[in-house]
Structure 1
Amino acid sequence: MRTTEKIYQEMLGAFRERSGCDLENSCDLAVRLYAVAAQVQALECQTDWVLNQSFPQTAQGVYLDDHAAMRGIARQEAEKAVGMLRFSVADAPLGDLSIPLGSVCMTEGEMRFRTTQAAVLAAGDLTVEVPAEALEGGKGGNVAAGSVTVLAVCPVGITGCTNPAAFTGGTDAESDGALRARVLASFQRLPNGANAAFYEEQALRHEGVAAATAIGRARGIGTVDVYIATAAGAPDSTLLAEVRKDLQAKREIAVDVQVLAPVQRGVNVTVELDAGEEDFVTVKGRVESAVAGWFTGKLLGKPVLLAELGRLIYAVDGVKNYHILSPAADAAGNSTTLPKLGTLTVTEMGS
């Protein structure tokens, strides 16, 4: 793309060629020509931008969304991390303590979580665990076990809270790069109403479905098994029934379609860290959150590669070096299997 100065010089050259004389830089006409050159350069920028938005390979933002819509694809929204909150008391109460729906707890970094159902800490008990979710979608909600310790809205009589396991399943809204890859793949694997790409694309149109794999002739000729996963992992029965009903209506004639939850395969991760001069506990928490956020439903059918896991860990702020002790080798992918984070152990290197 030409700069304003280049356009201006070309205009001076054209003026010289046609008039036979040069312009002084300080004269009124030279100033006017420079202003025109700036406008021409702005038009060239706008033209280049419009050209980029005209093709999915270079479009961005809402313009890429428009290209995706033409292929029947929508950008996946941010998903909230889910997990369990454990409410506790110092001494066993004589009566039941009510924990209302929407009770809020948070981490020291002020990431907030709320209960998704009402619960009761029964008389004589010290703790009760309640399902909860992050208030906002995104990877920031994937926090390590024991990170949620602050009662933001304290239920009457409750004195403490924590999360016994990590909150997982939080994902950011689909990036332009990821959406672009799906749009381009839709041209390479054209859904024709009968192939795996068709069933996978139809399943992914349902809200909450983060990944889908289709297997033809799974149970013999004329059968198709479609496995789906949510960002948090396995889908519930409601989502399975919804997708099954949709695919039954759109399937080929005489084809038996099943929509199934994948088999979850636990992957235990043990890693040693060198945090250098930074506080190890702080860096450890960041790594735990990053690893927990990586094991989402989008791993359905994909392998667990040590190279990807290592790159993820090394990119965490404060990590100077690391050593993955387990898994010892890459785990192959399988269309029916969803890798799920098992135990996560992070220790200090050399300790």
Structure 2
Amino acid sequence: MPFALPDLPTVRRTNRDNLAAFLKGADASVPNNALRVLSDQNAGGAFLNLKYLAYIAKNALPDKAEGDWLLRWAYILFGGPKAATFASGTIAVTGVKGTLLPAESILATSDSVEYQTKADVYLSGLATEVAVACLTAGAIGNRDAGAPLSLSVAVSNVNADAKVVRIDGGADTESDDDLRTRVLLRLRRPPQGGDADDYVQWALAVPGVTRAWSSPNGMGIGTVVVRFLCDALRAGNAGLPTDADLAAVRAYLDTVRPVCVKDFFVVAPIPQRLAIKIRNLSDDTPSTRLAIEAALQMLLLERAAPGQTIYAAWVSAAISEVVGDGYFDLDFADAVMASPGHMASLAASAGGGIAYP
């Protein structure tokens, strides 16, 4: 039988009733008398103890643990959470041809996030690409192309205003939810010396990686293929990893995988568009359409995987959760992936999406 934590008034009443039952002549029902004050004070302390016991009961096991309690599990099992990473990339700087922009020059965005140039650069007279690194770890350092930056300290013959060409790669410290998933996966599927689950857990240990899959014998007998996504880090590209991400995951896996594998591949999933048509939607409003898109994205987040068929029943159920008592007609057949490496996507970059003809 589960333990039900009583509320404070219940604990107070229980304390007063115990006094009346076991202390002859005691009357804790009179407001503000000494016995009543002492009784309620004692009940307050007992209630705090009960709350702490409930807190310990919640955090003692990793499936519901939070904060430092969850971190203890992570440090015991695999060395702790994934640390935040620093964004880096290139910016476009203009100025007089031949002017030196020194290494470690500081530029800042309008929200005071600072970036530092990596090396001395002589300007070409046109827009010159300069490599920079963010000085603050985390996703806050990622910037869209064309975003403005300004030199914090003026440099003679260099325009103070610059623009982002590409700055990405910044990932926040692993969240409790993501860390809990890895802890539970480690407990449920302990290391087996290099089986399919081990490759998944090794890939998930790399900062920025949020989902991973492994395919034993994916390229023939004795081979292993690892595919992964960086949903937050590469959100602007449907989570698809860059060449640098692929290299980082491969480099880490090379430090932990068995040496006896015949051949080993780290590749990105191939996005396969889902063309979904929704007709006769009963409540066809912008907010409903946004809710449907969010529901379908969540469906793919939970169910999509390389080679995984996306069934029309899944899509219909996700839309029905949004529509409720309303109605709609769905034009969508089961989407069979073109190969074991293809993965369903709604992203525009994959040519997919939702249409309301």
TM over 0.5: yes
Match of 1:64 among 67, 70, 73: 70
Amino acid at match of 2:88: V
SS at match of 1:110: coil
Aligned to 1:51: 57
SS at match of 2:178: helix
What is the rounded CA distance, in whole Å, between the counterparts of 2:192 and 2:249 in structure 1?
23
CA contact (8 A) 2:90 2:129 kept: yes
Aligned to 1:104: 106
Aligned to 1:246: 255
What is the rounded CA distance, in whole Å, between the counterparts of 1:227 and 1:112 in structure 2?
33
Shift in Å at residue 69 of structure 1? 2.9
Provide the alpha-carbon RMSD of the alignment: 3.8
List per-residue Cα deviations over 1:298-339 (Å, max 9, x = no partner).
x99699x9x9xxxxxxxxxxxxxxxxxxxxxx9979885799
Question: Is 2:168 the partner of 1:129?
Answer: no
Change (3 A) 1:172 1:301: farther
TM-score (norm 1): 0.66
Shift in Å at residue 197 of structure 1? 1.3
Give the share of equivalent positions with the same residue, in percent.
Answer: 20
Aligned to 2:145: 145
List per-residue Cα deviations over 1:219-266 (Å, max 9, x = no partner).
222221334677464354974664254135x35xx4324253537879
Gap regions ≥5 residues in structure 2: 235-240, 274-285, 287-303, 316-334, 350-357
Q: Which has the higher contact order (CA 8 A, sep 6+)?
A: 1
Aligned to 2:10: 6
What is the rounded CA distance, in whole Å, between the counterparts of 1:244 and 1:195 in structure 2?
13
What is the rounded CA distance, in whole Å, between the counterparts of 1:163 and 1:266 in structure 2?
33
Shift in Å at residue 27 of structure 1? 2.3
Aligned to 1:315: none
TM-score (norm 2): 0.65
Amino acid at match of 1:157: N
Residue correspondences, number: 279
SS at match of 1:186: helix
Q: 1:242-321, aligned counterparts within 5 Å?
A: 242-248=251-257, 250-251=258-259, 254-262=260-268
Aligned to 1:84: 90
Q: Which stretch has the larger CA shift, 23-32 or 220-229?
A: 220-229
List per-residue Cα deviations over 1:284-311 (Å, max 9, x = no partner).
xxxxxxxxxxxxxxx99699x9x9xxxx
Amino acid at match of 1:121: L
SS at match of 2:78: coil
Gap regions ≥5 residues in structure 1: 268-273, 275-298, 308-329, 344-351
What is the rounded CA distance, in whole Å, between the counterparts of 1:119 and 1:192 in structure 2?
50
Question: Is 2:180 the partner of 1:180?
Answer: yes
Change (3 A) 1:81 1:50: same
CA contact (8 A) 1:148 1:161 kept: yes
List per-residue Cα deviations over 1:185-239 (Å, max 9, x = no partner).
3344444224211122234445676654322102222221334677464354974
What is the rounded CA distance, in whole Å, between the counterparts of 1:206 and 1:131 in structure 2?
24
Change (3 A) 1:79 1:243: closer
Change (3 A) 1:55 1:241: closer
Aligned to 1:234: 242
Change (3 A) 1:168 1:242: closer
What is the rounded CA distance, in whole Å, between the counterparts of 1:246 and 1:16 in structure 2?
69
Amino acid at match of 1:104: I
Aligned to 1:285: none
What is the rounded CA distance, in whole Å, between the counterparts of 1:61 and 1:2 in structure 2?
25
List per-residue Cα deviations over 1:116-137 (Å, max 9, x = no partner).
3332214xx2221012232212
SS at match of 1:48: helix
CA contact (8 A) 2:213 2:227 kept: yes
Change (3 A) 1:337 1:82: farther
Change (3 A) 1:45 1:244: closer
Aligned to 2:122: 120
